[in-house]
Amino acid sequence: DAEGDLYKIIFNALPNGRFIHLHCYTGTVEMELKFTYKVPNLYTGLTGHITQFEFKNLRSTTGDLSLDRFLIETDSPYMMPFSMRPGCSLAHCVV
């Protein structure tokens, strides 16, 4: 249960007020809301995976996030949007 472990680490080991970036987040909506509720300085990184069928849970995650709390990530050359050809994972391809 990686999400549960991460949650424990963030709340038990890190000082309050730290800025946290969940890089290339692929977790659940419930866990994301749990993180954002407890950590005011948390940013969530989303990749082109939100367009992939097997990651449909991520699309629902984005609707629950405040626009000022998530980041668009390319993680180039991987994690590109479904409609892009391999290798096109630059920022303009994701946005």
d(CA 86, CA 78): 8
Task: For residue 52, tell me if it sits in a domain.
Answer: yes
pLDDT (average), residues 4-19: 83
Task: For residue 15, tell me if it sits in a domain.
Answer: no
In eight-state DSSP terms, residue 28 is -
Task: For residue 3, tell me if it sits in a domain.
Answer: no
Task: For residue 68, tell me if it sits in a domain.
Answer: yes
Higher pLDDT, 30 or 76: 30
pTM of the model: 0.69
pLDDT (average), residues 32-58: 78
Containing structural domain, residue 84: 30-95
Task: For residue 11, tell me if it sits in a domain.
Answer: no
Kindly state the percentage of the chain with pLDDT values over 70. 64
The listed range with the strongest mean pLDDT (14-23, 43-52, 72-81) is 14-23
Average pLDDT of the chain?
A: 75
CB count within 10 Å of CB 47 equals 25
The domain total for the chain is 1
